[in-house]
């Protein structure tokens, strides 16, 4: 019960990021509901017998109290399950409302890890062996020593970024959350292939020459819009050049035909 919001709490706590107060309040409500479903009745009987506080004289009353507690706990569990929808609505609405702030809070850790992955990508591929890394020089070696920790941090960050995207109902392709620059559509297709290919997606992107950056939903959408616009403009220029060349060829052919007729 409440497994999803408890998982999200752990994800952001692991990165040292405080969730919005509304999320914290919803989590507190969920935790209180969970606590209410737990009954120590059986354990109390066990401990009471061992400690000698439960005797032949009072054991019947203690058993009755425990039975009532157990029955109540079963009913409370059902009732608590009925609160999940409302608690989740509050929690995810707060995530959505604070999405850009949460992305900004993730950026310092992202940038630190990205700097290591970017350097590694400049010198060696994700599947490089130790000889490749040594041959690439000291900068590559230093990046390699810190690479495992950087990628572990990135896994936490990408998990958190996916949570934010889900809360926003953001259907942008995930790779667009992690790069910046002015790209054509063909370049973005390459980026997607690198991100979803074999190996570590962000390392692959860095290796392919893309600059890593943690984007908000609007920034990711702008990347896609810019690529579409640049591609359309390039196609329009190519079409205009083709038409101009066609006209030139036609004019030249007309002139040559005219001269031949003289």
Ranges of H-type helices in the chain: 3-14, 21-37, 41-51, 59-81, 84-97, 99-123, 130-135, 138-168, 185-196, 201-207, 217-261
DSSP-assigned beta bridge partners for residue 212: 179
Burial 12-38 (b: 16+ CB within 10 A, else e): beebebebbebbeebbebbeebeeebe
Q: Which two tokens stand for residue 260?
A: 């031949």
Q: Give pLDDT, residue 32.
A: 87
Mean pLDDT by 10 residues, the chain (262 residues): 92 96 95 78 81 91 83 72 87 97 98 98 93 94 96 97 96 96 94 95 97 97 90 68 66 60 63
Q: Give pLDDT, residue 206.
A: 97
Q: Give pLDDT, residue 250.
A: 63
Q: Give pLDDT, residue 256.
A: 59
Cα 18 to the chain's mean position, in Å?
17
Q: Give pLDDT, residue 24.
A: 97
CA–CA dist 107, 104 (Å, integer): 5
CA–CA dist 140, 234 (Å, integer): 37
Classify strands 211-212 and 179-180 as parallel, antiparallel or unpaired: antiparallel
Q: Give pLDDT, residue 113.
A: 98
Q: Give pLDDT, residue 239.
A: 65
CA–CA dist 219, 236 (Å, integer): 25
Q: Give pLDDT, residue 42.
A: 74
- Cβ–Cβ < 8 Å for 130, 96: no
- Cβ–Cβ < 8 Å for 206, 124: no
DSSP-assigned beta bridge partners for residue 211: 180
pTM: 0.78
Q: Match 């005797």 to its residue by tokens.
A: 55
């Amino acid at each position: 019960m409440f497994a999803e919001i408890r998982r999200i709490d752990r994800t952001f706590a692991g990165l040292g990021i405080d969730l919005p107060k509304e999320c914290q309040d919803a989590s507190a409500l969920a935790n209180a509901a969970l606590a209410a479903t737990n009954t120590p009745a059986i354990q109390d009987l066990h401990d009471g017998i061992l400690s000698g506080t439960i005797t032949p004289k009072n054991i019947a009353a203690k058993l009755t109290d425990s039975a009532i507690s157990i029955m109540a706990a079963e009913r409370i569990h059902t009732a608590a399950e009925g609160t999940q929808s409302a608690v989740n609505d509050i929690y995810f609405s707060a995530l959505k409302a604070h999405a850009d702030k949460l992305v900004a809070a993730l950026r310092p850790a992202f940038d630190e890890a990205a700097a290591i992955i970017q350097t590694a990508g400049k010198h060696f591929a994700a599947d490089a062996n130790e000889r490749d890394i040594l041959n690439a020089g000291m900068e590559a070696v230093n990046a390699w020593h810190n690479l495992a920790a950087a990628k572990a941090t990135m896994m936490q960050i990408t998990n958190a970024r996916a949570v934010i995207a889900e809360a926003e109902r953001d259907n942008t392709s995930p790779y667009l959350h992690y790069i910046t620059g002015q790209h054509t559509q063909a370049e973005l297709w390459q980026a997607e292939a690198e991100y979803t290919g074999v190996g570590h997606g962000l390392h692959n992107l860095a290796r392919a020459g893309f600059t890593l950056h943690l984007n908000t939903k609007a920034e990711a959408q702008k990347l896609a819009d810019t690529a579409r616009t640049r591609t359309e403009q390039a196609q329009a220029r190519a079409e205009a050049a083709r038409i101009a060349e066609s006209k030139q060829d036609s004019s030249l052919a007309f002139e040559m035909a005219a001269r031949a007729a003289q």
